Amino acid sequence: MIEIHNIHKSFNGKTILDGISGVFETGKTNLLLGASGTGKSVLLKCIVGLVKPDIGSVTFDGTYFTNNKLDIRQEIRRKIGMLFQGSALFDSMTVEQNVEFPLKMLTDMNKSERMDRVNFCLQRVGLENANNKMPSEISGGMKKRVGIARAIAPNCTYLFCDEPNSGLDPQTAITIDELIKEITHEYNITTIIVTHDMNSVIEIGDKIFFLYKGKKLWEGTNDNIMDNQIPELQDFIFANRLMRDAKKVEDERDR
Q: Note the residues at the interface with ligand ATP (CB under 6 A).
A: 11, 16, 34, 36-42, 85, 196
Pick the closer one to another protein by CB: 71 or 254.
Answer: 71
Number of residues located near another protein, criterion CB under 8 A: 24
Does 85 participate in binding Mg ion (rule CB under 5 A)?
yes
Cα separation, 161 vs 114, whole angstroms: 23
Is residue 44 within 8 A of residue 192, CB to CB? The reply is yes
Pick the closer one to another protein by CB: 77 or 213.
Answer: 77
Pick the closer one to ligand ATP by CB: 56 or 154.
Answer: 56
Segment 84 to 103, residues that bind another protein, using CB under 8 A: 84-86, 88-91, 102
**Residue 44's Cα: distance from chain center in Å?**
8
Pick the closer one to another protein by CB: 160 or 210.
Answer: 160
* Site map (CB under 8 A) of another protein, residues 48-87, x = contact: xxx-------------------xx-xxxxxx-x-x-xxx-
Q: What is the DSSP string of the chain?
A: -EEEEEEEEEETTEEEEEEEEEEE-TTSEEEEEE-TTSSHHHHHHHHHTSS--SEEEEEETTEE-TTS-HHHHHHHHTTEEEEBTTB---TTS-HHHHHHHHHHHH----HHHHHHHHHHHHHHTT-SS-TT--GGGS-HHHHHHHHHHHHHSS--SEEEEESTTTTS-HHHHHHHHHHHHHHHHHHT-EEEEEE--HHHHHHH-SEEEEEETTEEEEEE-TTTGGG---HHHHHHHTTSHHHHHHHHHHHHHH-
Pick the closer one to ligand ATP by CB: 52 or 244.
Answer: 52
Least separation, in Å, of the C-beta of 209 and ligand ATP? 12
Segment 1 to 60, residues that bind Mg ion, using CB under 5 A: 41
Least separation, in Å, of the C-beta of 85 and another protein? 8
Least separation, in Å, of the C-beta of 196 and ligand ATP? 6
Segment 168 to 187, residues that bind Mg ion, using CB under 5 A: none
Least separation, in Å, of the C-beta of 240 and another protein? 30
Positions touching another protein (CB under 8 A) are 45, 48-50, 70-71, 73-78, 80, 82, 84-86, 88-91, 102, 105-106
